[in-house]
Structure 1
């Protein structure tokens, strides 16, 4: 592990604003804090991974937007760039430009930019640059010399809080510093941009959300703005911004990372999706698990909408790219208001065309390839997000929330739950005639091909772990077979049984807050075995990209600012 440097009077470049007092500890890896060190080069065993991302431009038709809306988009992108800078500090702890300038190789520099540091996010966070040690599992949210045992026995305010950095006080003890204090100046700048954007917003609800979100960045109190975000219904422009997901904190899964999305609503596709949310309570009631594990009834007024993304920043842009969003994460808001599910259609189609179809042609039997469809891929992804609202958020035995009880395993198990219950929802709604596009074979076969796509994200990704668990579980149930040519075929009847069995297992582990049980599940099934590893290598040999990266920004959008 790298050791942290204590910085008092001087902080590096854009991160100088993070030091609000002489007692704060800056998250600067000691090995790169000395500018006299030689340049960084790509390790020999990583050179063949530099081209695993397919570059895709993020463009959109802005012709229907007013001059004010276009100006507002520019401000939202500027605020998002600040989130990007803050995530660099949380993930890596060093000035981005100074770090990248030390990498002479252009491909290596691009790869480091995509990964927000010197670790390959889709290869178990392995270092791909020289002079680099193991990535801290707590990223830069905690002192790197802090052990898990030290944290657990320490008592201090906001110990498990979402919105604070843990540092050492002057006496060496641990303390939490709120983001609003630790990142004071950049958050003030972001808040100012959001307030300026609110003046240009034609939609009153969106303007209200922007102002409340600006207040949240400065107060560390996000719930009020989450409620306001849930009340937005008609705005054509969308912004998700702030510290949101906890995947980057692999030590405990407590701390939220900064990120942002700027999006445009696709009205015609959104209209197609609006009918599904009403079925959530009925689907919750029918879950294949005991009554105690489904007593929390989800809201039926949750929104399902389709969007085109025009800008990603921070955590959402690091390594594998998000193609759907389910927010907010606040359990109280979810129970009172439900959630909003945002399907990122242009990013989804880019992955389908550039990755999923080539994977299916390489690994699925020819007679089932006709069942790989974009409608099924879109629906499976959408119902994954909807399924986050099913199940249970609080343990049934007084262990607190599921997130708190399952710690660093909470994210992987939640992603696994969403995947498997999403497929359960599809089968239920097809039977009811609510879904009229395609047949169950389309969804099952496309889902199987999607497992191969997501497993390639590696062991450091919550989604990757969830897919490895599911692959191995399905294999034990005979939900698919592999022929002598190395091609996979889905067994429709056994797949249905495997879905019910895995749904019951995951929901029970969550409801019981069974940390030991989840740990065993991850250790036993969250691994890539030899045969699958060889099959995944076939995808690499066929030059099928692992994921996409974006060409984005005002220039790509041809967004002229006044």
Structure 2
């Protein structure tokens, strides 16, 4: 049975993807209906994790929006639903509805949150007994494909962000553009974006929507990324399409479909606008040799705060994103910088429901007063800003950092953003540009946030980055743990460790040192026994691991 789940089903989807017929969830259901329906069972011990998410209603005040803007939001949500279905197809090589109807009732909601039978916040362990480990390449590659076979595959589109790898009728590898593999659904999504563009009151936003619609059908996303960077005055935003490559843990090449529908918080956005101008100065001051900071980031990067009103696909799977830094295209970043979007309502939910209770358990009483929402917001924001620092291309002709470091690129990039975000806060605080609270607030909240994030597991890019940072800090004496299992920050040692880890990561990236990064991940990207015991205390105290959104048109009153 396990062999059928992991070889026959992907092969069936592979043949569909390579045909002239568009792939949709309906097609997949028809394909799988010929097979015997399996009734699944919960894996031993898995049911204890089914309550790790706490509900949060994703809402915002829409009273200032016009009727056309509200209709536009409705269309954007409809397009987001399509992204959700496409992500299911990328993440799981079985039909979604068949799977959810076949799992025990107690596991249905957990299956929906995880987009399949693997617990995303527990190292992708299967919570359904009939499934084995999650394929590293998800459903982007044939289940029986080996790395050497891929490396030997002579096709200039094989490492494209927007192709699936499938087998043709002769069993040979072939690259299938997303625009072909998902043609029917992407055509519907494109139509919805064009309808939304006709209702848009901001012409830059309308232009972006139309170019994004074109990208769905052409597989060329850079023009719409550039247009997205040109927007400044729009009250409504949508991040939609194949964007992040975390789901591909085999090579880190393939992007997953997702969507966020957003309402700008103008008051908070005005507070953030001044920080982008400091990026060139902060780049020059990075604690690393000059050759690793020769690329100068633009000072025109946008920092804005939003209320998120809909998540779909990759962004909605497992842990929920609370800040965005896009586009990922290195050429667009060097030409126009990036936009950093802080999702304030989602951030507030995690601070209130998760971070504060964690601090009450794991931070010494004398430092709990240093846990503040302003510090949490700033740490999260500057994490995203810090993606723009450092280097995008190796210094020794190995190509881009992402290409040179392959499957480790995302983990190291997230680690860089974490540590350089704290570096930026330190520099700006001491320049008097950050005036809220004390520097200890940002360091202590940063430490407490590691405990929050590491509960997502050490298998994801963010999880590995968290553990590298935690273990590096531990080895440097940046914190101590008392007999009650409570942690205290040592400001001086933490600052020194911050600078040293920043230098190490920036050097590894600039050198494109794949083996060095692999060694760092293998040695420090793990959860040790003592930390796991402390994390178990949080579960025993009933503190949720993450939030699950109650969302949609009905919640918004549309």
**1:253 touches 1:410 (CA, 8 Å); kept in 2?**
yes
Aligned to 1:513: 512
**1:17 touches 1:185 (CA, 8 Å); kept in 2?**
no
Q: Does 1:383 align with 2:378?
A: no
Matches within 5 A, 1:51-450: 51-105=51-105, 107-450=106-449
Q: CA deviation at 1:254?
A: 0.3
The 1:38–1:163 alpha-carbon spacing in structure 2 relative to 1, beyond 3 Å, is closer
Q: CA deviation at 1:25?
A: 13
Q: What is the distance in 2 between the residues matched to 1:120 and 1:377? A: 26
Q: What is the distance in 2 between the residues matched to 1:549 and 1:163? A: 28
The 1:57–1:76 alpha-carbon spacing in structure 2 relative to 1, beyond 3 Å, is same
TM-score by length of 1: 0.95
Q: CA deviation at 1:17?
A: 8.4
Q: CA deviation at 1:112?
A: 0.2
> CA-to-partner distance for each residue in 1:101-152, whole Å, 9 max, x for gaps?
11232x3100000000000000000000121121100000000000111111
The 1:187–1:17 alpha-carbon spacing in structure 2 relative to 1, beyond 3 Å, is farther
Q: What is the distance in 2 between the residues matched to 1:25 and 1:361? A: 47
Secondary structure of 2:261's aligned partner: strand
Q: CA deviation at 1:226?
A: 0.5
Secondary structure of 1:218's aligned partner: helix
Q: Does 1:458 align with 2:462?
A: no
Unaligned runs of 5+ in 1: none
The 1:115–1:173 alpha-carbon spacing in structure 2 relative to 1, beyond 3 Å, is same
Of residues 163-172 and 392-401 in structure 1, the stretch that sits farther from structure 2 once superposed is: 163-172
Q: What is the distance in 2 between the residues matched to 1:23 and 1:381? A: 40
Q: CA deviation at 1:34?
A: 5.9
Q: What is the distance in 2 between the residues matched to 1:22 and 1:358? A: 51
Matched residues, number: 552
Unaligned runs of 5+ in 2: none
**1:444 touches 1:492 (CA, 8 Å); kept in 2?**
yes
Q: CA deviation at 1:33?
A: 6.8
Q: CA deviation at 1:20?
A: 4.2
> CA-to-partner distance for each residue in 1:488-507, whole Å, 9 max, x for gaps?
00000000000000000000
1:3 to 7, 15, 32: 7
**2:455 touches 2:535 (CA, 8 Å); kept in 1?**
yes
Secondary structure of 1:313's aligned partner: strand
Q: CA deviation at 1:23?
A: 12
| RMSD of Structure 2 on Structure 1 (CA) | 2.0
Q: CA deviation at 1:157?
A: 2.9
**1:4 touches 1:145 (CA, 8 Å); kept in 2?**
no
Secondary structure of 2:240's aligned partner: strand
Q: What is the distance in 2 between the residues matched to 1:529 and 1:244? A: 32
**1:209 touches 1:225 (CA, 8 Å); kept in 2?**
yes
The 1:191–1:16 alpha-carbon spacing in structure 2 relative to 1, beyond 3 Å, is farther
The 1:558–1:48 alpha-carbon spacing in structure 2 relative to 1, beyond 3 Å, is same
Aligned to 2:20: 21
> CA-to-partner distance for each residue in 1:189-231, whole Å, 9 max, x for gaps?
0000000000000000000000000001110101111110000
> CA-to-partner distance for each residue in 1:495-523, whole Å, 9 max, x for gaps?
00000000000000000000000000000
**1:17 touches 1:186 (CA, 8 Å); kept in 2?**
no
TM-score by length of 2: 0.96
Q: What is the distance in 2 between the residues matched to 1:515 and 1:532? A: 28
Secondary structure of 2:7's aligned partner: coil
Q: CA deviation at 1:321?
A: 0.3
**2:32 touches 2:95 (CA, 8 Å); kept in 1?**
no
> CA-to-partner distance for each residue in 1:333-360, whole Å, 9 max, x for gaps?
0001000000000000000000000000
